[in-house]
Amino acid sequence: MLKTFRIGGIHPPENKRTARQPIEQAPLPKQAVIMLSQHIGTPAQPVVKKGDRVKVGTLIAQASGFVSAHIHSSVSGVVSKIENTADISGYTRPAIFIEVEGDEWEEGIIRDNSIQDTSALSPQEVVERIYRAGIVGLGGATFPTQVKLSVPPGKNAELLIINGVECEPYLTSDHRLMLEKGPEIISGIKLLMKALGVNRAVIGIENNKQDAIEHLRSLTAGNPEIEVCPLRVKYPQGGEKQLIDAITRRQVASGALPISTGAVVQNVGTAFAVYEAVLKNKPLIERVVTVTGKNLQEGKNLLVRIGTSIQDLIETAGGLPSNTGKVISGGPMMGKAVVALHAPVTKGCSGILLMDEQEASRKKIRNCIRCAKCVHACPMGLSPNLLMRVSELALWEKAEAEKIMDCIECGSCSYTCPANRPLLDYIRAGKSKVGNIIRKRTTKK
């Protein structure tokens, strides 16, 4: 019997329309707009100025604080300005604008099939290379990888879990990466194991990607320390806590970190980026992005330079259909609507989804009928109907007591609600408010 997590979950239509589309190199942009805040934590601080010439891989912004990540130029050219610009959500944040001239790379980056011999590297040196390359979690959370590999005092890492689930509908970038970059991913997994000091890794892949399961199993046949674990298809199995539960049968307690279970979770894209960082000296300057939609002329999986505009990617995939109602960064469940198409791709962007007007339209909201479908669907065991209500009424103490901060914003509640109530919208707003209250309270202490 296939494993899966034990609390809640739903089965939205998969719509994996680009699963058979090989990864293609996206065209170079004419201008790259590289956000300084494209990771969880403190924004990076620029180390270049207007007029500076940069190459592909040049450090342009330095990590600022413990939870932060370096940012490198994804193109070669001239820094034209450093100023605020809109991100995908419409918020203005600082960015470095680079006018592209050619495609000249930093000399230390290995671009051929040769690799460095890293057998003599210590775990600390592996983590240091990951830090220098600006690697963050590529599953969407964008948590700086070097921080996740630094196990807190008193905790012990026993198992590395590699997230190849990709349960979000429409998205196929991880699937294609597993099929096309399998050996590199396995190398990255071994480096992550070394960094953590663990001797066992499990790659979790949902059973709708049988070709990826078979491929990675063939690559790990001689590596008993790495196991490929097929999982029953169920959303949101790609959530860190849900994946830990599915594979280890251990659950992360409310308010606790995943490391409390002895497991560290990394995305397959992150494992590939670690391979490139440690063995190729290559910073995180590009990633695979799925561009898809039911009415899109030609859905694609594109290897995209960070800082390329969403508009450019849509044009590469055939252009914006006339009946487009919404463009989403990410998938339909956890993604966010794009306010401006000139907004750039960041490290955390795994997909661009185009919805037609009918698919994007919201149905009429009706009164809650207390059916409890949202409660049964919630993978965190929360009561979304109650959390929406207390957020509406600004009852922040009650919201905190009802564990609103445990919400992983998967959207399962809104998806199942027969009354079409915007449960997640209110919970997100309430979670933001309660989070600010907690931070202020902690600062005072």
- Which two three-digit tokens encode residue 76? 């070669």
Question: Across residues 268-275, what is the average pLDDT?
Answer: 98
Percent pLDDT > 90 in the chain is 93
Task: Give this prediction's pTM.
Answer: 0.96
Predicted confidence (pLDDT) at residue 445 exceeds the cutoff of 70: no
Model pLDDT, residue 347: 97
Kindly indicate the confidence band of residue 137, based on its pLDDT and cuts at 50, 70 and 90: very high
Model pLDDT, residue 92: 93
Model pLDDT, residue 90: 86
In whole numbers, what is the pLDDT of the chain averaged over residues? 96
Model pLDDT, residue 429: 96
* Calpha distance 330→348 (Å, rounded): 9
> In this predicted structure, which of 8-12, 176-180, 417-421, 440-444 has the lowest mean pLDDT?
440-444
Taking only the tens place, the pLDDT of each residue in 38-82 is 999 999 999 999 999 999 999 999 999 899 999 999 999 999 999
Model pLDDT, residue 252: 96
Predicted confidence (pLDDT) at residue 422 exceeds the cutoff of 70: yes
For the annotated binding site for [4Fe-4S] cluster, the residues are 368, 371, 374, 378, 407, 410, 413, 417
For the annotated binding site, the residues are 368, 371, 374, 378, 407, 410, 413, 417
* Calpha distance 195→219 (Å, rounded): 21
Model pLDDT, residue 1: 83
Do you know the residue count of the chain? Answer: 445
* Of 211 and 255, more confident: 211
Kindly indicate the confidence band of residue 117, based on its pLDDT and cuts at 50, 70 and 90: confident
Taking only the tens place, the pLDDT of each residue in 153-165 is 889 999 999 999 9
Model pLDDT, residue 299: 95
Question: Across residues 217-229, what is the average pLDDT?
Answer: 96
Taking only the tens place, the pLDDT of each residue in 287-317 is 999 999 999 989 999 999 999 999 999 999 9
